[in-house]
Amino acid sequence: MMSGEITEKFDRLIVLLEEILKWTRFQGWRNVKYVLLDALKDDVSKLVYHYSNGSSSRDIAEKVSISHVTVTRYWDRWSKIGIVEPIKVRGGGTRYKKMFSLEEFGIEIPEIKKTQEGEAHEQGN
């Protein structure tokens, strides 16, 4: 094969892969939204998921005013259904990072408001 032919075939392959990716994203969007809505049934779970960006369970727990054990329980459940991915950290620990942005799927992120004592509480509860 001549190099021009190889380049042409490579360019065609890229176009086909981009087309496959477009349709795969389209098809998967509804499925992902359904899984997220099923797994994140309340404001607390939505906030924990939203803040799952590699932060420690203690940092997230402090922001949402829950125990860090609750955060790790969410992570365990969510890792089994594939909506968070593990991140290894120094010292042998594991943190988790969300796979999807809630905003991308039209899922509202609850606001956290501060009380007079300075403690965080999710709005509406």
Tens digits of per-residue pLDDT, 44-83?
999 999 999 999 999 999 999 999 999 999 999 999 999 9
Confidence of residue 125 (pLDDT cuts 50, 70, 90): very low
Is the separation of the CB atoms in 39 and 104 below 8 Å?
no
**pTM for the full predicted model:** 0.73
Confidence of residue 25 (pLDDT cuts 50, 70, 90): confident
Whole-angstrom distance, CA of residue 123 vs CA of residue 125: 6
Domains delineated in the chain: 3-122 (1.10.10.10)
